[in-house]
Amino acid sequence: MASRDVKFRIRCRYADGTGEPWWENYEKPGVTSLKEAEEWAEATIDSFNSTIRPHERARKLLAVELLPDDTDVKRFVTHNWEKTNLITKASRGMSFDEMECKNCGATGRRYGLGQNGVEMSARSMRKRNHRECINKAVWEAMK
């Protein structure tokens, strides 16, 4: 009987110790145990740090945890945007729709025909659970 892939999360922080640590959630094919998840996380962080770009900062792996099988890992990484205004608005010669994420409550604007996605509001970008799209109930449990 083949082992099932596991869902897991890794806790990271900047290598220089600045800033708050954060969680990243994953479900990777071929990772079937905590040991394999730890090995994958270490290799991923090492790879990131060895190919760092000028505007990026090195990271340090702090922890790896398995998640329950029923955890929807995708809800942590993808906003589910919904239009909140009835009629397209216009300002400074640009048309836009106001949007809100059904998962985390983040807000933003979709300009023009929406080919470039949604531009998140500055207020939402300041909130970590909005930047990472963490469901409100899950966010409270993670604290």
Whole-number average pLDDT of the chain: 80
Q: String of b and e for 62-99 (b: at least 16 CB within 10 Å)? A: eebeebeeebeeebbeebebeeeeeeeeeeeeeebbbb
pLDDT in tens, 52-100: 888 788 999 999 988 877 655 544 446 778 899 988 888 888 888 999 9
> 3-state DSSP: the chain helix, strand, coil percent, rounded to 5?
25, 30, 45
pLDDT in tens, 108-134: 888 877 667 788 887 777 776 666 676
Torsion angles phi and psi, residue 104, rounded to 5: -115, -15
**pTM flag (> 0.85):** no
Q: Name the residue with higher pLDDT: 106 or 38.
A: 38
The full set of domain ranges for the chain reads: 7-71, 76-142
